[in-house]
Amino acid sequence: MRLCRAKTEPGESQLAFFYDDYIIPVPPVYEAYRMAGYGASPLFPAPCRDTLGYLPPNWEGYRMLERLSSVADAAGDEEDLQWPLEDVYLDLPLPMPRKVLCLAGNYAEHIEESGWKAPKKEETFPFFFMKPPTTTVRPCGSCIALPHTSPDHIDWEVELVAVIGAYVKDVTPEEARDAIAGYTVGLDMSNRKLRLNPNRIVQDRTAFQEWLCGKWHDGFAPIGPCIVPADDDFDPMACAISLSVNGEIMQDSNTGNMVFDVHELVSYASKIMTLEPGDLIMTGTPSGVGDARGRYLKSEDYIEATIEGIGTLTVSVV
């Protein structure tokens, strides 16, 4: 079961079941469920828009959604219920997050291609940084503009994204499992050579500050196309993860190669700050980024970022 939010015309998006070539909106499936004599449920006011209300750890809503998913699967051949993907606008798979936490260097292979030696796990900790959600987060299918300020060194980074489903503070990795609502695909895009002042002198923190600010351009954290629930059917630490630019594979790895797994990341982050429902944690990228190749994004490039079991996030560069 995969969930998205979509619409076919201007207006508010609604919750839908995601299939690779089409979606099935939840409201008509719920109506079919009700008309079949199963009764109404206050859990599904029409139209259905709130993804988090039907994902773990909101188990009552999730169980209802599982029943509706079975109805949608059975009705999969009924074309009047299907919305072809080319006819819909995919919205963010959840309402705008409050926080976007990202990881620097969570795959040893990426650390090494960047010119560093990967430390032993027991001798380090996750290097978190944040992105402003309201300006960086974009849905699948978006056009991402090259920034006017130093547009020539823009890079890609495909990442597994954990969606937080509960208020979380000071939890263990085991407890963190119960705080995750689901997973989606994300891009942590980067400006590798941001120069806000070409006349600046190099100070102790110059390189870090320019690296950090290069993560913050508009549209530099697209996510989507859907969310897969954090249940026993999905293993976030055993997924093929890849990215292509104009059809050419650039990144090809597995989430099992992370230094810190998803639950450890949630645990560490919860010791720094309270995590809230809808927060995103981008879990780091494998090797194959453009900077290591001396190749960067340019106008009219088309990016496809894929994670097994979730789907493909697409964006265009303009």
Q: What CATH number does the domain containing 248 carry?
A: 3.90.850.10
Q: What is the mean pLDDT of residues 37-42?
A: 65
In a domain, 20, yes or no: yes
Each residue of 212-262: pLDDT tens digit? 999 999 999 999 999 999 998 999 999 999 999 999 999 999 999 999 999
pLDDT at 96 over 60: yes
Same domain, 73 and 107: no
Same domain, 197 and 225: yes
Q: What is the mean pLDDT of residues 177-203?
A: 94
Please state whether the peptide bond connecting residue 225 to the residue before it is cis, i.e. omega within 30 degrees of 0: yes
Please state whether the peptide bond connecting residue 57 to the residue before it is cis, i.e. omega within 30 degrees of 0: yes
Same domain, 42 and 109: no
Q: Whose structure tokens read 């870090």?
A: 208
Cα 170-54-312 angle, rounded to 5 deg: 90
Same domain, 83 and 108: no
Same domain, 151 and 33: no
- For the ranges 89-98, 114-123, 241-250, the maximum mean pLDDT occurs at 241-250
- State the Cα–Cα distance between residues 227 and 250, nearest whole angstrom: 24
Could you tell me where the DSSP H helices lie in the chain?
26-33, 59-74, 108-113, 133-136, 173-176, 206-213, 262-272, 290-293
Each residue of 59-69: pLDDT tens digit? 988 998 998 99
Each residue of 280-297: pLDDT tens digit? 999 999 999 999 999 999
Q: Which domain holds residue 55?
A: 3-90
User: Which of 90, 110, 140 is where one domain is finished?
Assistant: 90
Q: Whose structure tokens read 């039907």?
A: 54
Residues 6+ apart with CB under 8 A from 92: 5, 137, 138, 139, 223, 224
Of 24 and 117, more confident: 24
The distance of Cα 41 from the centroid of its chain, to the nearest Å, equals 30
Same domain, 68 and 104: no
Q: What is the dihedral of CA 245, 249, 250, 253, to 10 degrees?
A: 130
pLDDT at residue 263, rounded to an integer: 98
Same domain, 272 and 217: yes
Q: What is the mean pLDDT of residues 13-38?
A: 87
- State the Cα–Cα distance between residues 205 and 106, nearest whole angstrom: 22
Same domain, 258 and 197: yes
In a domain, 95, yes or no: no
Same domain, 104 and 72: no
Rounded to the nearest 10 degrees, what angle do helices 26-33 and 59-74 cross at? 90
In a domain, 54, yes or no: yes
Same domain, 187 and 264: yes
pLDDT at residue 46, rounded to an integer: 47
In a domain, 148, yes or no: yes
Share of the chain above pLDDT 70, in %: 95
Q: CB 129: neighbour CB atoms within 10 A? A: 16
Q: Please name every residue paired with 7 in a beta bridge, in sequence order, or none if there are none.
A: 89
User: Which of 62, 90, 118 is where one domain is finished?
Assistant: 90
Q: What is the mean pLDDT of residues 127-156?
A: 96
In a domain, 182, yes or no: yes
Share of the chain above pLDDT 90, in %: 77
Same domain, 153 and 214: yes
In the chain, the number of structural domains is: 2
pLDDT at 48 over 60: no
DSSP 142-206: -EEPPPSSS-S-EE--EEEEEEE-S-B-S--HHHHGGGEEEEEEEE--EETT--S-TTPPP-TTH
**262 phi and psi, to 5 degrees?**
-60, -45
Same domain, 29 and 169: no
Question: What is the pTM for the complete model shown?
Answer: 0.95
Mean pLDDT, rounded, of the chain: 92
User: Which of 90, 125, 155 is where one domain is finished?
Assistant: 90
In a domain, 263, yes or no: yes
In a domain, 158, yes or no: yes
